Structure 1
Amino acid sequence: MVVLPVRFERSPRLHSMQSEEAHAVGTKVVVQGKRGPEVATVRGEPSAPRPTERYGAVLRAATTEDLERWEELHRAGEDLKWLLRARARERQLPVKLVAVEFTLDESLVTVSYSADERIELTGLIGEVRAHTRARVNFAAIGPREQAQMLGTLGACGRENCSSTHLQEFAPVSIRMARDQQLPLNPEKLSGPCGRLLCCLQFEHTQYVDLLKNLPRKNAKVCHDGSGACGKVTKLHPLSGTVDVFTEQGMLLGVPATELRRAPDEGSTRAAGERGHKSARPPGPDA
């Protein structure tokens, strides 16, 4: 037995499947997944199974009949999807039908949909049952899963990461944009799904490491070279420089290694008072 990484049509995620033989990369195979038999593509080299892991099974290499049947079911799913979209518009249902997928044995049909609120789908379930004897499963998906299944272009001009290579949806926060010194513009930070860009997480750890060597924004610093003091207004982690707005009204771009912390006004005043007291003349009892 070997374990093969396989990929289904509508997702880049790799699934580990146990197989009695090692199929070459790119081979179409029939696998027994959670929903039933489906066609997938081998996307990696075989490896040894782990005793603690549970795997699906590769049933066989897909035959010509399997592939023809799979294409036929794919067309049937597309036709049914457009029919359901028309029926949803007639019923004025606030729902988007994303995909309709059959298993290879046509025992189950999965209808993936997205909606902003809970809706009644009884009428649409009846429409599906009128066209197939398969069991019907309506699966609600989120905006990111929708972009993953449909595929779209990202802000970079390439196909979005979620439909090409992303294996899981890791949490993305606005803090990541702040750490990368990006403008907090929702239109520029959001992907086609309307959520924060997944790619914000790719380089976040590197930016966190770079920021450790830079002063905080709004910190008061002094430049060793010019002696000018001022406030940090902007950080440039990749170049290791910061912008300093000086007390003289100038904006300086200087390396962080040439900066030192400005003396605190309170401590400077206290030091001056201590010096003033020590300079008092001795009293009559001295």
Structure 2
Amino acid sequence: MSVAIDTKTVRIRFLDTHKFSDVENVPEDVQKGDFIVIETEKGEELVLVVGRSVPDPDNPSQYKFLRKATKKDISIFDKHEKEAEKALALCKKLAENLGLKMNLLKSYIPLNRSKIMFYYVSEGRVDFRQLVKELAKRLKMRIEMRQVGVRDGVQMAGAIGVCGQQCCCSVFIDKFDTVNVEMLEEQNLPPTPTKFTGICGRLMCCLAFEVDNYSIRKNLPELESEVEINGKKYVVKNYDFIKETITFYGEEGEILVLTFDQIDELGLKRELPCDNCGMKNNEVERIELEGNENS
């Protein structure tokens, strides 16, 4: 009579690309920090368990759990890593001799030696047919070339960002979000992309982390615009999305600071220009504050 074994879904990290994914039907005794062997499209792979995960019925894991890694599995992985390093050096030399414009990052051999993969970054298409022939002839293995993006390249290699910490992509980022220049303006940052460019040469991923917090900006009066509160005119001088406040300057130099919560509690009605209302840019935006200004 067979005994049912309790299983769970775990979060894993691949050792070649440093990307994350989930694996289902993993025995309960597998813990964070353990190595397990799974079956993927690349072959049998040794991966690191980084924690427990919640299974997604709509997106089931495409990987099959094979076993908890043994000392032999880890020994084979280390042996393959050394072999892959030599293969990478050979590939770089051959690519240079062939005049191929590609930045080779890493080579990788799965546990069952189903193939050897070479990861590279390139600005355009690379005709590496001759390179593959030369490699197959010397390595006696199936060759697979995989082009990755520049952000994927940094995720694989690891690097220190301008903040002095490891790049987010090499620590925890699961998938890359779209990051664009408009996010700088939305977050009151100077429109100088070079100051917010990461190691990869693209805008830093962290610009997308808090962008949703700034969605309220579309409901706020424009900076430097004039507003009227309880019969007094003020100029909108600053938004502070961390403290959730708006700072207004009065005609006599007085400063009024209102939190977003106070605006809602006091019933501040934002009468913003609409497309068809005929309001000109130089007209004063009127905002009526219901209640006592000092309450």
Check 1:21–1:133 CA distance in 2 against 1; reply closer, same or farther (3 A cut): farther
CA contact (8 A) 1:3 1:18 kept: yes
Give 1:255's aligned residue: 257
Task: Quote the Cα distance in structure 2 between the aligned partners of 1:138 and 1:29.
Answer: 25
Q: Which residue of 1 aligns with 2:174?
A: 167
Percent of paired sites with the same residue: 25
**Separation in 2, partners of 1:29, 1:149:** 20
**1:237 aligned residue:** 241
Distance 1:222 1:189, change over 3 A: same
Say which of 214, 217, 220 aligns to 2:226.
220
Q: Which has the larger radius of gyration?
A: 1
Q: CA deviation at 1:37?
A: 0.1
Q: Which residue of 2 aligns with 1:280?
A: none
Partner of 1:283: none
What are the superposed Cα offsets for residues 228-266 of structure 1, whole Å, 9 maximum, x if unpaired? 555x465433342347697x9x8x7642569998xx899
The residue number in structure 1 matching 2:107 is: 100
Q: Is the 8 A contact 2:115 2:143 kept in 1?
A: yes
Mapped partners of 1:167, 1:15: distance in 2: 11
Counterpart CA distance in 2 for 1:207 and 1:114 is 34
Q: Which amino acid aligns with 1:116?
A: E
Answering whether residue 13 of structure 2 is matched by residue 7 of structure 1, we say yes
The answer to whether residue 124 in structure 2 is matched with residue 122 in structure 1 is no
- Which stretch of structure 1 is more off in the superposition, 66-75 or 40-49? 40-49
Counterpart residue type for residue 221 of structure 1: V
CA distance in 1 between counterparts of 2:70 and 2:240 reads 57
User: Which secondary structure state, in structure 2, belongs to the residue aligned with residue 131 of structure 1?
Assistant: helix
After the TM superposition, which residues 138-149 of structure 1 pair with which residues of structure 2 at under 5 Å, given as runs?
138-149=145-156
| Residues 1:51 and 1:173: Cα distance change in structure 2 (over 3 Å) | closer
State yes or no: 1:16 paired with 2:23. Answer: yes
Deviation at 1:79, TM superposition (A): 1.5
Root mean square deviation of aligned Cα:
3.3
- Give the letter aligned to residue 255 of structure 1: V
How far the C-alpha of 1:204 sits from its partner, in A, is 1.3
- Distance in 2 (alpha carbons) for counterparts of 1:197 and 1:75: 33
How many Å apart are 1:160 and its aligned residue? 0.6
Where structure 1 has 5 or more consecutive residues not aligned to the other structure, the ranges are 269-286
Partner of 1:28: 35
| Aligned-partner SS, 2:52 | coil
User: By how many angstroms is 1:156 displaced?
Assistant: 1.1
Aligned to 2:95: 88
* Counterparts in 2 of 1:138 and 1:245: CA distance versus 1, 3 Å: farther
Cα distance in 2 between the residues matched to 1:183 and 1:137: 43
Q: How far did 1:55 drift?
A: 3.6
User: Which of these residues, 42, 45, 63, is aligned with residue 49 of structure 2?
Assistant: 42
Q: Which runs of 5+ in 2 are unaligned?
A: 1-6, 272-278, 285-295
| 1:161 Cα deviation after fit | 0.7
- Matched position secondary structure for 2:77: helix
Preserved contact between residue 2 and residue 22 of structure 1 (Cα < 8 Å): no
